[in-house]
Amino acid sequence: AQSVTQPDIHITVSEGASLELRCNYSYGATPYLFWYVQSPGQGLQLLLKYFSGDTLVQGIKGFEAEFKRSQSSFNLRKPSVHWSDAAEYFCAVQTGGTSYGKLTFGQGTILTVHP
Amino acid sequence: GAGVSQSPSNKVTEKGKDVELRCDPISGHTALYWYRQSLGQGLEFLIYFQGNSAPDKSGLPSDRFSAERTGGSVSTLTIQRTQQEDSAVYLCASSRDSNQPQHFGDGTRLSIL
């Protein structure tokens, strides 16, 4: 069965600093990969997705992620963090076939932004 | 356009009572998913609908949980004889089909006293 690991439970950065959130997955083939963000009391908002092709994908709010097959990773990056980026971030995978598109999520990374 | 709508946003009920949670997906989305988010277990898949049928119910934790979808649109998740461990946020998501990205509602926060 597939699994997703987000090694960092909580990350704190200063406003304006760069950010990288780590995500590793375990699956026999290349899954579809996603990053979602969740603000308190709200649902999940899709930041970006990787299906195939260019391994560097651009998303909303200035985020990007890079798929590295050799490392089974899909790390999320942002060059300059804004205070409004404080939230919880989830990496997720979606496998084909009889999984019917259901998402398997990592445990999430809480991002705190200091002014 | 309108996103995924869930109601109620919060539900507090006594142990042993039945609850119904509602999800109104984005119009035209044939795939609908229910997930549960709890402190101990993170985000877990519960059930998947394609149209009105549920080909994957593998995530439902017990036979106290059931769900239906009517008219290829609104879905209801029912929990019978609620237990304290059912306390969680229940999230609904929909997508055009099972190969497209999922759009989530804001969830229903369920608290069992």
Nearest CA in chain A to B49: A100
Total of domains in chain A? 1
- Inform me whether the C-beta atom of residue A59 falls under 8 Å from chain B C-beta atoms: no
Tell me the C-alpha to C-alpha distance, in Å, between residue A20 and each of A77, A79, B103.
4, 9, 24
Q: Do A49 and B50 touch (CB under 8 A)?
A: no
Specify the pLDDT at position A30.
Answer: 78
At residue A41 the predicted structure's pLDDT band, cuts being 50, 70 and 90, is confident
Closest by CA position to A41, among listed B105, B58, B87, B36: B105
How many domains is chain B partitioned into structurally? 1
User: The domain that contains B89 carries what CATH number?
Assistant: 2.60.40.10
CA A37, chain centre distance (Å): 8
Q: Distance between CA A56 and CA A4 in Å, rounded?
A: 19
For residue A31, what is the domain's CATH number? 2.60.40.10
**Residue ranges, chain B, pLDDT below 70:** 1
Q: Give the residue numbers spanning the domain of A24.
A: 3-114
CA distance A104 to chain B (A): 7
pLDDT in tens, B65-91: 999 999 989 999 999 999 999 999 999
Count of CA atoms in the C-beta half-sphere (13 A) of B26: 16
Q: Cα–Cα distance between A24 and A44 in angstroms, integer? A: 20
Q: Which residue of chain B comes nearest to A48, CA vs CA? A: B101
A53-97 pLDDT, tens digit per residue, is 889 999 999 999 999 999 999 999 999 999 999 999 999 998 766
> Which residue segment(s) compose the domain that B35 sits in?
5-112
Place A42 in a pLDDT band, splitting at 50, 70 and 90.
Answer: confident
Matching residue, tokens 């995924």: B4
